Amino acid sequence: MQVLMQAIRTKLIVLLAALFWVASPLAKGTDGPPLIPREGLFGDPEKAAAKVSPDGRWLAWLAPVNGVLNVWVAPIGDLAAAAPVTADAKRGISIYLWAFDGAHLVYMQDEGGNENWRLYAVDIEKRTVKDLTPFPDVRAELAGRSRKIREEMLITLNKRDPRYPDLFRVNLTTGALALVAENPGFDSFEADEDFTPRVAVKITPNAGAEILRRKGQGWESWLLIPPEDLLTTNILTLDEAGKTLFMSDARGRNTAALRRIDIATGDTSLLAEDMRADLGGVITDDLGGIITDNDTHEPLAYQVNYERNEYRALGTKLQADIEFLSRAFGGEWSLGSRSEDDTLWTIGVSSDVEPASSYLYDRRAKTLTKLFDARPKLVGAPLSAMRPAVIEARDGLKLVSYLTLPKGSDQNQAGHPDTPLPMVLYVHGGPWARDSFGYESYHQWLANRGYAVLSVNFRGSTGFGKAFLNAGDKEWGRKMDDDLLDAVAWAIRQRIADPARIAIFGGSYGGYAALVGMTRDADKYACGVDLFGISELERFLATIPPYWTAFRPQFLKALGSPDTKEGRALLKERSPLYQADRIKRPMLVAQGLNDARVKKEQSDLIVETLKSKGIPVTYLLYNDEGHGFDKPESNISFVAITESFLGKCLGGRVAPVTASDLKGASLEIPVGADAIEGYNSAKQALEAR
């Protein structure tokens, strides 16, 4: 009953807020619903990422301090007494967790997006912060925590060898480091609750993997992972005793199943499977979609995500909880944290038209208490529904895709606009990732500006079995692009897209796809947007970060090897840089100066080539960003300029670029600033302040 009343109250709030949006002077637009302010979509959340302390006494979350995200803490019964426990004034904090001692929080942060993460411990009583890894140009990562050794955490550092991080214990109070295991060339370790490594993974030269198990003070080969299974077979966790391994495992089958393997004997049992989708491919509770027993680490529930997400229980221990939460929220919830006695959970909830909210779930009382909305300014905003669509590629592969239409454009038939619309093909990165159903800020922004938005899980995307994933090998810029073209053709046949007004837009691999589309399919797209995309594949392979060295065989398997004549020819053929003269329509290119994955030269090269050939191009360079824009100032300025760019080539709705959009952004426009309507005047107004 309480859940039902909460749902009724939420719907009432949304209805009242929607009435406000209709009349709000802050939300003016023309030819459609009110324009949603860019800051509401791309600014920092007001509160986010609630996590309960292991002892159940405290609640932490992220919220701004002087416009920068920091960690706040409050007694769980008195959230009004919340206070910040960190004072970052630079990039903001996005990754944090509780230590098992209940007295410390640990967070990660890099410098300007360079991905050389440092770890910091926060004493929540003293309000002090200690840099646990004060080493320049060294990358630290969390590797484990233990209820047996509460005052320490397990971390990795690539201080000795930038390619292969060693395993350390670190004391959260003193910062003292103790070497646990030197890395002889492994991709990863898996340790027990005594911080003793029990198994390790080594990528083999043929892009397979070898799982090794501990033997005395050394290692012995144990399980072999064939190359076709590398990206669909992963270690999830060890049991509490360190004797049993739980894996997401695709060996001998197509989709990855959940399996238990005895480390001593190799005996294997199947725990769960789904013939449509891989298990363990959606991140929740740090275990790839698997909820485990707090004491034994035995999997108790898992996620399945084909078109939409759903939870399933293993056994009866969490059955009632899964049913309760699924009744309340459908499949659109995720487990954020748990108290050590497992009575309190924090739950993140979102849907396609509702940005994230956080709840406290009391498992004993079966009650939900809403903590906050991450973006309360969007409650009642004219957000658009997202609809799954399974599109058939020319060779029969099924492409799970997601379509978002401008609100009110499909009055005659839901999901089908009354007239064909300008469309943005929004391509995900990776490519070893996937699009999923749910709230997506880019979809909402573009749909609100009048565009149909289509995202496609092309071959090579993860989550749909190894046959689908491996179908992308050696098909960068070919069959992977064909899948995008087939989805565009579907949208045109369905009278969703106006064939004369289609743009291709993406970041990382999606940026590469945008460059490929603008070269290979030059007459298909009216314009393209490339965020930190790869333009020259051989240079990309030569400049990958050192900590990706162990994974390099997978890149060669997918792309081709620069060590062979045939491989070099393939890499050149599939590099958009060498076909840039085929581009006919305007390009917008954006790049972070400190990008460790796709170096700035990748964008420099394509921009210089387009400029030399007289092809319209605008280049946005952010001097304090890396692979992806973390700072809200960067995101807001980027979407403001992109909105102007798309409006000019597709005819969508545009809110003018203002000085406020540019404030605080480390933006330079070395090429093409004059092509962005309103940019120069906004910049002058900002400089005059």
pLDDT for residue 144: 93
Q: What is the mean pLDDT of residues 468-476?
A: 98
Question: pLDDT exceeding 70 applies to what percent of the chain?
Answer: 94
pLDDT for residue 226: 97
CA angle in degrees (0–180, nearest 5) for 67-68-71? 125
Q: Which residues of 214-234 are buried (b: 16+ CB within 10 A; e: fewer)?
A: beeeebeebbebbbbbbbbbb
User: How many Cβ atoms are within 10 Å of 10's Cβ, its own excluded?
Assistant: 16
Q: Which residues of 252-288 are buried (b: 16+ CB within 10 A; e: fewer)?
A: eebbbbbbbbebeeeeeeebbbbeebbbbbbebbebb
Q: Please report, for residues 157, 349, 499, 517, 648, the alpha-carbon distance to residue 587 in angstroms, rounded to integers and kept in the order given.
A: 40, 37, 18, 11, 12
Residues annotated as part of the active site: 508, 595, 627
**What are the pLDDT digits (tens) for 258-272?**
999 999 999 999 999
Beta bridge partners, 107, equal 96, 120
* pTM score, whole prediction: 0.94
Prior bond to 553 cis, omega within 30?
no
- Give the DSSP H or E segment for 606: helix 600-612
Q: Please report, for residues 393, 445, 492, 638, 652, the alpha-carbon distance to residue 406 in angstroms, rounded to integers and kept in the order given.
A: 26, 10, 16, 21, 11
Under CATH, which architecture does the 386-536+575-688 domain have? 3-Layer(aba) Sandwich (3.40)
What's the fold here for domain 47-152? Neuraminidase (2.120.10)
Q: pLDDT at residue 19 above 50?
A: no
280 pLDDT band, cuts 50/70/90, is confident
289 pLDDT band, cuts 50/70/90, is confident
Specify the range with the lowest mean pLDDT, choosing from 11-25, 42-56, 109-123, 438-452.
11-25
Give the strand pairing for 209-215 and 386-392. unpaired
Residue scoring higher pLDDT (323 or 5) = 323
Q: What is the mean pLDDT of residues 530-556?
A: 96
The per-residue pLDDT of the chain, averaged, comes to 93
What residue ranges in 39-162 does DSSP mark as E strands? 48-52, 58-65, 68-75, 83-84, 95-98, 104-109, 118-123, 128-131, 140-145, 152-157
**What are the pLDDT digits (tens) for 130-151?**
999 999 999 999 999 999 999 9
